[in-house]
Structure 1
Amino acid sequence: MIELPLRDVPTAAPVTDTETVWRGRIFDVVRETLTLPSGSVTREFVAHAGAVAVVALDEEDRVLLIRQYRHPVGVSEWELPAGILDVPGEPPVEAARRELAEETDLAADEWHTLADHRSSPGFTDEALRTYLARGIREVPEADRHERVDEEVDMPTRWVPLEEVVEAILAGDLQNPTLVIGVLAAHASRERGWSTLRPADAPWESRPGRR
């Protein structure tokens, strides 16, 4: 048995044809023909700009959650503040700062990279980076973002980190970014936050198609 390294390795299969089947505002649907050791195959997938999320943790180790309706699954979920990387040239951590302010009227003095994940690599190249934000403070009222559309009615709640972990393990909270971010925060805290990476840590899996 070959002892392979315990890390994901970028491996680009040769692509012989690429076609954008459908183009949307947030994502595209792409069809590619590629060459694998078994021969030529065709794959269709969702091409996405990527996203960032924030585990905002206050001095009492409470996590800020946002409740949002998700129509494809017909569920009002508790989620982390998050948003798409849709501003050209904007560093991911700055996108996270912006999303936290726009969705919650909060800012943070301390930022670290907490976890990276791919939402569903079998059918999309979407990658997400989750940050840990501490030193939480309110954005001055004059500088607050004016919310529109679904952002207008998104309840928020501060919940103890341990309570969110228990809700995840009970199956009551199922949003994948929330699950990964909160469990990563809990595990990192148990290790004295020694696993945290700099806010500008390299992000190899960030999509670059859109």
Structure 2
Amino acid sequence: MGDKIEQENLPVVRLDRQLKYQGNILKIYEDTVVANGHEAHWDYIHHDGAAAVLPVTDDGKILMVRQYRNALDRFTLEIPAGKLDEPDEPKVECAYRELEEETGYRVESQGKLEYLMSLNTTVAFCDEAIDIFVAHHLIPSKQHLDEDEVINVEAWELKDLEDLIYSGTITDGKTIAAIMAYARKYRSTDKRDEALS
């Protein structure tokens, strides 16, 4: 037992990091490391970060976006989200922008976005970090989609979204985390009404 604990506490030392591919949103590296006394080669993907927002209408429905995801070769139902324009862009600014661009709704100011949670999407090989916000008091505006984006906006009841999660229909990690955290925090009508006031 003692030997196992000592082995688990050995540090991982990175000897080298080489850029293998740079795309529009990702940089893919090969890391050479020494782990548990053995040299290994690990894949590492760098992402500048992103923000997402869970938009809640005045009647308590959640605005979702349905869009095609090339990696899965299918349409998915997700909360609005997008990458930072610059690595140092405040994530609340990104969330504010993505809300309007994808849903055609906005809030009066960035201060009206409530921080909900942070998450790392794929900890085994990617450093993407997303901050998720909740938006109340939505103001109609208009979508500002990229030329290659096709996004449909749908209003859903919270309980129906939970059912889609439990049935395996919604599989996007940030969306699942956001919906479940929101449900836990605002389950009662009193709490939701308090947030809307």
TM-score, scaled to structure 1: 0.77
Query: What is the CA RMSD across the aligned residues, in angstroms?
Result: 2.3
Aligned to 1:45: 44
SS of 2:138's partner is: strand
* Shift in Å, 1:146: 4.2
The 1:88/1:125 distance shift into structure 2, 3 A limit, reads closer
Counterpart of 1:30 in structure 2: which amino acid?
A: Y
State the number of aligned residues: 179
Percentage identity across paired residues of the two chains? 25
- Structure 2 residues not aligned, in runs of 5+: 2-10
C-alpha distance in structure 1 between counterparts of 2:16 and 2:146, whole Å: 40
C-alpha distance in structure 1 between counterparts of 2:122 and 2:88, whole Å: 25
Q: Please tell me whether the aligned partners of residues 60 and 160 of structure 1 are also in contact (alpha carbons under 8 angstroms).
A: no
TM-score, scaled to structure 2: 0.82
Q: Please tell me whether the aligned partners of residues 103 and 143 of structure 2 are also in contact (alpha carbons under 8 angstroms).
A: no
SS of 1:131's partner is: strand
Deviations 1:125-174 (Å, cap 9, x if unpaired)?
111111111111123xxxx56433233x3111111112111111122211
C-alpha distance in structure 2 between counterparts of 1:145 and 1:56, whole Å: 14
Aligned to 2:72: 73
- Structure 1 residues not aligned, in runs of 5+: 2-11, 197-210
Counterpart of 2:28 in structure 1: which amino acid?
A: V
SS of 1:135's partner is: coil
* Shift in Å, 1:40: 3.2
Counterpart of 1:136 in structure 2: which amino acid?
A: L
| Structure number with higher relative contact order (C-alpha < 8 Å, ≥ 6 residues apart) | 1
C-alpha distance in structure 1 between counterparts of 2:93 and 2:115, whole Å: 12
Aligned to 2:7: none
Which of the pair has more CA radius of gyration? 2
Aligned to 1:137: 139
Q: Which has the higher helix share?
A: 2
SS of 1:177's partner is: helix
